């Protein structure tokens, strides 16, 4: 029941919201349902901590790793729903593009992402992962402009093909499991696979083949270079709350799927193969995205490339493994989600008030919109990994693991790319903030829904940078225990 309710509420909620034709009523309904949903997720996370892994039938299961990702989903969706209530105030009623459609699709999107995290079966995990693409494609193309339609089509096609490869990988894993004597009913069950992996005698060639297809497939959704082509377009053209959801939660959910496969393949065929693949994809993403950040002209595309870079950082943490590497990677998923939401919210306000996202044509923000500038500065300082913000802690963890394991090339490339990204962000953000304002904002002050969400995110970054709260540290330990 604990597992079914958080899945039922978003689906029923999506249907309910569609009944409200008045935008204000739809917004209120969405906020109410969102509050219920987030409370339920909180209870679920708490119960997993108290009672250990929870089951519901053969297909649903939540353990420590699920609950960490459920927490990320809960935090980011809370921020996004509140922020969207103010952001959508200018939107009129159109075909498929009105607040009620927006919220209904957001709830379906949340449903698919929560299902990804509570799937016990790798087949169901795949189905729900494809579901995330389907639920969010219309949101990416929400504005129906030329750019939005193009980005939506690209997103749908590229991700569906990518996910098809992941299906092939899933099937190869299934073949290996069935050939090793597992019953067809349990051969896709994650727990059974983890139990059987060290001794069942899975064919290591098949396991490696499966992992290659899975990392390419789900890697397309994570945005690993060179499968990232959809990502900047989708992030830039989607409504800003959706950009935040895509970047902070969707990519993270795909990373979650890769973690599950990595654990099985490491057990069955040794960690060397899967970990070096993760390291190579991670470094490639970090380097290419880091360099592309320098030449971006659109604020949201800049942030999108930064997401690719951070997914690279997480992949490097996973690829290094070890206590600090894994710790850093898991902590970084949370930190990146919060920091990126803050930055996208800031970018959304820039767009609302100045009607442009073009970095070169924005000047003097610090004078014309001081509150917004403060949020952008905090977000930018946090995302480039400066202390006292929390991303510093997780990046430092991953870096120390790289040095501890004598992966000097990885460590040095990691440091070089962090400095280049720092330079890129400093260049773009100083340009936007300093100087004389060249456009007058429509509304220089932030509305309550905007400053509360931005302040919450900024506070969270600061608190986690100073000291990881005890409860969260326990959650991290439980998540790491699942993967060991």
Q: Which stretches of the chain bind another protein, using CB under 8 A?
A: 59, 121, 123-124, 126-127, 130-131, 133-134, 137-138, 141, 144-147, 149-154, 156-157, 160-161, 164, 167-168, 171, 174-175, 178-179, 184-185, 188, 203, 205-206, 209, 232-233, 236-237, 292, 295-297, 301
Residue with tokens 């400053």: 451
Q: How far is the CB of 18 from another protein (least distance, A)?
A: 16
Which is closer to another protein, CB of 292 or CB of 326?
292
Token readout for 313 is: 């950082």
Q: Which burial class, exposed, middle or buried, applies to 30 when counting CB atoms under 10 A from its CB (0-12, 13-18, 19+)?
A: buried
Q: Say if CB 281 and CB 224 are below 8 A apart.
A: yes
* Smaller CB separation from another protein, 162 or 317: 162
Q: Least distance in Å: CB of 417 to another protein?
A: 19
Question: Which residue, 151 or 381, has its beta carbon nearer to another protein?
Answer: 151
Q: Which is nearer to another protein, 139 or 393 (CB)?
A: 139
What the block records as the tokens of 30 is 């969405």
Question: How far apart, in whole angstroms, are the C-alpha atoms of residue 223 and residue 314?
Answer: 12
Torsion of CA 403, 406, 410, 416, to 10 degrees: 50
Strand partners, 119: 60
Of 107, 2, 108, 9, nearest in space to 45 by CA: 2
Instruction: Kindly tell me which of 189 and 401 has the beta carbon lying closer to another protein.
Output: 189
CA 271 to chain centre: 25
How far is Cα 112 from Cα 290, in angstroms, rounded to an integer? 30
Give the nearest distance from C-beta 411 to another protein in angstroms: 30
Minimum separation from the CB atom of position 419 to another protein (A)? 23
Q: How far is the CB of 164 from another protein (least distance, A)?
A: 6
The DSSP 8-state label assigned to residue 361 in this structure reads G
Determine the Cα–Cα distance for residues 200 and 198; give it in Å rounded to an integer.
6
Which residue, 154 or 310, has its beta carbon nearer to another protein?
A: 154
Q: Which is nearer to another protein, 149 or 413 (CB)?
A: 149
Closest CB 320 distance from another protein, rounded Å: 31
Min separation Cβ 120 and another protein, Å:
12
Which token pair is 76?
Answer: 């980011």
Cβ–Cβ under 8 Å, residues 246 and 136:
yes
Rg (alpha carbons) of the chain, rounded to whole number: 21
Residue 135 C-beta: closest distance to another protein, Å: 9
Token couple for 120: 């016990």
Q: Which residue, 133 or 368, has its beta carbon nearer to another protein?
A: 133
446 DSSP 8-state letter: P
């Amino acid at each position: 029941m604990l597992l079914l309710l958080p899945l039922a509420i978003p689906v029923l909620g999506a249907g309910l919201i569609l009944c409200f034709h008045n935008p204000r009523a739809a917004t209120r309904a969405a906020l109410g349902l969102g509050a219920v949903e987030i409370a339920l997720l909180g209870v679920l996370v708490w119960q997993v901590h108290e009672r250990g892994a929870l089951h519901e039938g053969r297909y649903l299961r939540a353990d420590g790793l699920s609950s960490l990702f459920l927490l990320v989903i809960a935090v980011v969706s809370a921020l996004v729903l509140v922020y969207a209530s103010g952001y959508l105030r200018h939107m009129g009623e159109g075909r498929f593009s009105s607040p009620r459609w927006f919220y209904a699709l957001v709830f379906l999107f949340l449903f698919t992402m929560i299902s990804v995290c509570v799937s016990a079966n790798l087949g169901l995990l795949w189905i729900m992962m494809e579901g995330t693409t389907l639920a969010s494609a219309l949101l990416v193309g929400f504005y129906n402009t030329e750019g939005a339609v193009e980005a939506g089509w690209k997103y749908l096609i590229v991700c569906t093909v990518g996910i098809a490869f992941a299906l092939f990988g899933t099937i190869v894993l299934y073949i290996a499991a069935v050939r090793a004597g597992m019953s067809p009913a349990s051969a896709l069950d994650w727990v059974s696979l983890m139990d059987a992996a060290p001794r069942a005698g899975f064919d290591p060639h098949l396991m490696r083949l499966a992992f290659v297809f899975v990392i390419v497939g789900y890697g397309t959704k994570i945005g690993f270079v060179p499968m990232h082509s959809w990502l900047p377009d989708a992030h830039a053209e989607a409504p800003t709350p959706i950009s935040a959801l895509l970047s902070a939660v969707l990519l993270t959910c795909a990373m979650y799927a890769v973690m599950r496969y990595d654990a099985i393949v490491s057990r069955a065929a040794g960690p060397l193969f899967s970990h070096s693949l993760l390291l190579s994809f991670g470094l490639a993403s970090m380097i290419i995205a880091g360099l592309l950040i320098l030449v971006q002209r659109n604020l949201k595309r800049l942030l999108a490339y930064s997401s690719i870079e951070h997914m690279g950082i997480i992949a490097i943490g996973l690829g290094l493994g070890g206590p600090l590497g894994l710790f850093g990677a898991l902590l970084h998923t949370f930190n990146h989600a919060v920091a990126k939401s803050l930055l996208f919210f800031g970018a959304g306000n820039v767009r609302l008030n100045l009607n442009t996202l073009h970095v070169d044509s924005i000047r003097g923000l610090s004078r014309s919109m001081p509150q917004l500038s403060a949020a952008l500065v905090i977000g930018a300082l946090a995302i480039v990994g400066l202390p006292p913000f929390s991303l510093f802690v997780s990046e430092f963890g991953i870096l120390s693991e790289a040095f501890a394991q004598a992966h000097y090339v990885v460590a040095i490339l990691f440091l070089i790319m962090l400095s280049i990204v720092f330079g890129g962000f400093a260049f773009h953000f100083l340009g936007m903030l300093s100087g004389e304002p060249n456009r007058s904002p429509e509304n220089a002050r932030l509305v309550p829904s905007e400053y509360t969400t931005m302040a919450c995110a900024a506070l969270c970054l600061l608190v986690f940078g100073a000291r990881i709260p005890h409860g969260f540290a326990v959650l991290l330990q439980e998540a790491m225990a699942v993967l060991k």
